[in-house]
Amino acid sequence: MAPHPTSSPTPTLLHPRDLNRATLARQLLLRRASGFAPGEAVAWLVGLQGQNVKPPYFALWSRLEGFRPQALSALIEARELVRIVTMRSTLHLHTADDALTLRPLVQAARDRELKQFRAQLAGVDLDRLGTAVRAMVEERPYTMGELREALSREWPGATPAALAVAARCRLPLVQVTPRGLWGRSGQVALTTVEQWLGRAPGPVPAPDATVLRYLGAFGPASVKDMQTWAGLTRLGEVFERLRPELVTFRDENGAELFDLPDAPRPAPDTPAPPRFLPEFDNLLLSHADRGRVVPPAHRGRAWKGNQAFRTLLVDGFLAGVWRIDEGEGGKAGKDRKGGKAGGGTTSGAGGAAVLTVEPFGPLTPGVRDQIVAEGERLLVEMAGATSYDIRFGNVTS
């Protein structure tokens, strides 16, 4: 299923706006898709970043027409979707089938990751550790604290945190529900993907199909882009093998970009409405060169240390950050520096939910109105607000 709009002739050289519109089209962000069910969208996007519980829900809300978080939550509860560490050693929400195929594909990267912890794991037999962890978590789900405690008793000379990393690197561990469900709370508890789904991962697949899926969701892209997304190395030979099936371009820096022949590549002046994205959205993390979404002046502004902010797209590019404060009344309208947010728009009477938008630069009145309209939809559909405030913080310098 092609995700929208009709392709237009594309020159051999692709500028950042060309890449931006092509990627937004693949990511279902030029206009919300009406032909995707939540599970189909998770598969199309090859998973959603899920370090925190809410990002997959906000990610799909910005991409799917008529999305309701309860529908995604029901798929997680039914074990049709699972939360598992895959690409870049980060937790993703995947379809059950992808959890069973993508994890073996990136297992070599998880094995390499463990080499960083040699000193902290001195004397630890990793095969025996894997066997021990499997026996524990398949008897009942274990929390990370319980795993650290149990493994530390067996290997008291090792660093407890490193032992926990070794467990998730050696085994395909999934987070069990109620963790990850909408409107429910639950601490992280783990079992194996085999135990949770009742079927085992297959053998390590050839990466060819995943390369094609990546290009469908994130292209046009370079070999380095794909390697950044997957956390894998030496994919150049795979792209060479697939070259007869692909089309190629160059970016402004001369990097070769690969793409599917029939994938959408809209004109660079195609309208891109404002979008509220969650923290850690894959749109901002899945290319070696993020210039197609992140203007040079805004590099690093979506992050503070290891923490990512929820991000605002304007005209398809990173343009600010946002947050929702629920049940805080008037206090929620203050910006992060504690100063009064200015120029807000108020609907309703009680201020039960407040959306604070902090742009990185001035906004035209027309764009501001579009952001407010999108924000109202966000507050009603995702925060369930019957009364709310939308406030613009001081423009971040």
Q: Measuring CA to CA, which residue among 69, 19, 62 is closest to residue 274?
A: 62
Residue 336 has pLDDT above 60, yes or no: no
Q: What was the pLDDT predicted at 74? A: 98
Q: What is the pLDDT of residue 394?
A: 73
* Percent of the chain's residues with pLDDT above 70: 90
Give residue-wise pLDDT tens across range 19-71: 999 999 999 999 999 989 999 999 999 999 999 999 999 999 999 999 999 99
Query: Is the bond preceding residue 201 a cis peptide, omega within 30 degrees?
Result: no
* pLDDT the model gives residue 299: 85
Domains of the chain, residue spans: 1-272, 294-392
For position 5, what pLDDT does the model report?
52
Residue 132: per-residue pLDDT: 97
Contact 16, 296 (CB under 8 A): no
Looking at the DSSP assignment, which residues form a beta bridge with residue 324?
A: 355
| pLDDT in the model for residue 363 | 95
Do 315 and 272 touch, CB atoms closer than 8 A? yes
Record the tokens describing residue 163, joined without a space.
């032992």
Interaxial angle between packed helices 208-218 and 16-26, expressed in degrees from 0 to 180 and rounded to the nearest 10: 110
Q: Mention every residue, 6+ apart, whose C-beta is less than 8 A from residue 255.
A: 222, 224, 289
- Contact of 246 with 215, CB cutoff 8 Å: yes
pLDDT at 334: 34
pLDDT interval class at 373 (50, 70, 90):
very high
- Mean pLDDT, residues 113-136: 95
b/e map 268-289, b = 16+ CB within 10 Å: bebebbbbbbbbbbbbbbbbeb
Q: Measured between alpha carbons, how far is 8 from 298 in angstroms, rounded to an integer?
A: 29
Q: Is the pLDDT of residue 282 over 80?
A: yes
Using a 10 angstrom Cβ sphere, with 0-12 exposed, 13-18 middle and 19 or more buried, the burial of residue 54 is middle
Residue 263 has pLDDT above 80, yes or no: yes
State pTM to two decimals. Answer: 0.90
Of 5-14, 186-195, 251-260, least confident by mean pLDDT is 5-14
- pLDDT at residue 350 greater than cutoff 60: no
What is the pLDDT averaged over residues 332-340? 33
**The pLDDT of residue 328:** 54
Token match 């807000």: residue?
A: 344
d(CA 273, CA 289): 23
In whole angstroms, give the CA distance from residue 225 to residue 229: 6
